[in-house]
Amino acid sequence: MDTVMGFSVHMDFEGQKLAERLFQIIVVAFGVVGWLYGYYIQDFSMTVLTLGAGFLLACLVTLPPWPIYRRYPLKWAPSQDTSSTPSTSSQENTSSKKKKK
């Protein structure tokens, strides 16, 4: 399932790595700024609110599969022809084993 209601819902591996890194940077940055601001004004609730705002921003930036997270699509191997039957290949294996002995 690649789309839901016309929106793409997949993210490639490089996009997942980038999203994880951005999430961590945003949350840590807001945590540090919130802690410093809360320490300065001596109000722990401002620290928590700042961290919460950073968490919401990080979710908005990293959870939807934005096009920036879909730059490197996977290149799948081409499908193989399945017209040969398995019995033919097993017969070839048996005859090659007999020749080796």
C-beta separation of 20 from 63 below 8 A: no
The backbone region for 51, taken as left when phi is positive above 0, alpha when psi lies in -120 to 50, beta otherwise, is: alpha
Confidence class of residue 33 from pLDDT cuts 50, 70 and 90?
A: very high
Chain length of the chain: 101
pLDDT in tens, 36-83: 999 999 999 999 999 999 999 999 999 988 889 989 888 888 888 777
* Mean pLDDT, residues 20-35: 97
- 71/32 Cα distance (integer angstroms): 31
pLDDT of residue 9: 75
pLDDT of residue 88: 53
Q: To the nearest whole percent, how much of the chain has pLDDT over 90?
A: 51
Q: What is the dihedral of CA 39, 42, 47, 48, to 10 degrees?
A: 150
The pTM for the full model equals 0.69
- CB within 8 Å of 17: residues ≥ 6 apart: none
